Structure 1
Amino acid sequence: MLWGGNLGTLEIRSEGGATHLSAVFPYGAETELAPGRREVIAPRAFAARIEAGGEIHLLSGHDYNKPLASTAAGNLSLRDTDAALEIRATVDGSTTWAADFLAAHRAGLIRGLSPGFRVEDGGDRVERRGADLLRTVTRASLFEISAVTVPAYPSAQIEARAWTASPETPGLSAILRRAPAYRWRA
């Protein structure tokens, strides 16, 4: 199973004791997985499994032992559009890991959005772009989507509330470079 992500947004709000989460995983955003290795998730790459009604989980940190919601439990819904995968969930903070996730998000520690998927046979294409390789995932089985601290893709980030990027808003890499623990990273 692969884990990855790209620029995404997550909003969490509490209402009547329940915590509601909404997130967007946009398609078509190219990211660098490693030097010279780029990847993009094509629009509706996850559509077949979502439309078939297969069970999909919302996890904390790609850990199946830390589920936050699932389609089978009825507290996770996914909407696949040409622009993005839209995620809506109700998270019950009564488990220790869900309470920890909610506290970590409130503290600004969890900002990554990362899907766990398997690429189906014939579900990708690889092309050379100069010295680099670009892999486009066109068909993949989505099994889970996770809130993570450090996403597999450097550009993956979760922002709280209805955050909108503007030209003067620094990206995640600029924010991390200012943090003492990350100054050694270029």
Structure 2
Amino acid sequence: MMLWGGHNGSLELRSEGGATRLTARFPYGRETEIAAGRLEVIAPRAFRDRIERGEEIHLLAGHDFNRPLAARSTGNLTLTDSDDALVIEAEIDSGTSWARDFLAAHGSGLIRGVSPGFRVPRGGERIERRGAGILRTIASAELFEISAVTRPAYPEAQIEARNWQPVGEVAERLVTHHFKRWRL
């Protein structure tokens, strides 16, 4: 069973020409109410296993694997895991209709959240009573994707995306990718 959790924050796009860069921060240790009386918190570095093994993880529009925005295997998605947060960096090519739709929806203020798609393996969670409800702490989860969404479950994530054009020495160090994307 795939579970989704999310963080809501600011998703910012800047158009200056060139590739669109997205940066998201998914902070760990934040409690959120998933449903009435059901709280959830994702423990620090809960997603580390698949990240450290270098396994495939996608950035998607709305948890839809038919609308990929970036992937580790293509070199346009980087994940940095720490005790504080998971940081997502991606380069988004606007060559697909769903990427253009995502960029337009964000530009209109409609998409502001980020949400991870993951599975919790046996022993990866702890459930405890909290008053009349329960608290689920996810200590270990298999991260398969991160999505840009309109209604995330968690309120603290921040996403920033900007369209950038390298200049000066930075531009000289860049090479052209066969899809005409710029890479460092």
Residues 138 and 8 of structure 1: CA distance in aligned 2, closer, same or farther (over 3 Å): farther
Task: Report what 1:20 is aligned to.
Answer: 21
Task: Report what 1:92 is aligned to.
Answer: 93
Assess if the C-alpha contact under 8 Å between 1:13 and 1:21 holds in 2: no
Task: Report what 2:174 is aligned to.
Answer: none
Distance 2:160 2:81 in 1: 21
Deviation at 1:13, TM superposition (A): 3.7
Task: Report what 1:177 is aligned to.
Answer: none
TM-score calculated relative to the size of structure 1: 0.81
What's the C-alpha RMSD, in Å, of the aligned pairs?
A: 1.9
Asked which structure has the greater RCO (Cα within 8 Å, sep 6+), the reply is 2
Task: Report what 1:110 is aligned to.
Answer: 111
TM-score calculated relative to the size of structure 2: 0.82
Distance 2:151 2:88 in 1: 19
Local SS of the residue matching 1:72 = helix
Aligned length: 161
Task: Report what 1:167 is aligned to.
Answer: none
Structure whose residues are more often strand by fraction: 2
Q: How does 1:1-186 map to 2 (within 5 A)?
A: 1-14=2-15, 16-151=17-152, 153=153, 155=155, 158=158
1:155 maps to a residue whose letter is P
Segments of 5+ residues of structure 2 without an aligned counterpart are: 162-184
1:108 maps to a residue whose letter is G
2:19 maps to a residue whose letter is A
Greater CA radius of gyration, 1 or 2?
2
Residues 84 and 140 of structure 1: CA distance in aligned 2, closer, same or farther (over 3 Å): same
Assess if the C-alpha contact under 8 Å between 1:125 and 1:136 holds in 2: yes
Residues 159 and 49 of structure 1: CA distance in aligned 2, closer, same or farther (over 3 Å): closer
Assess if the C-alpha contact under 8 Å between 1:123 and 1:139 holds in 2: yes
Deviation at 1:155, TM superposition (A): 2.6
Deviation at 1:159, TM superposition (A): 5.7
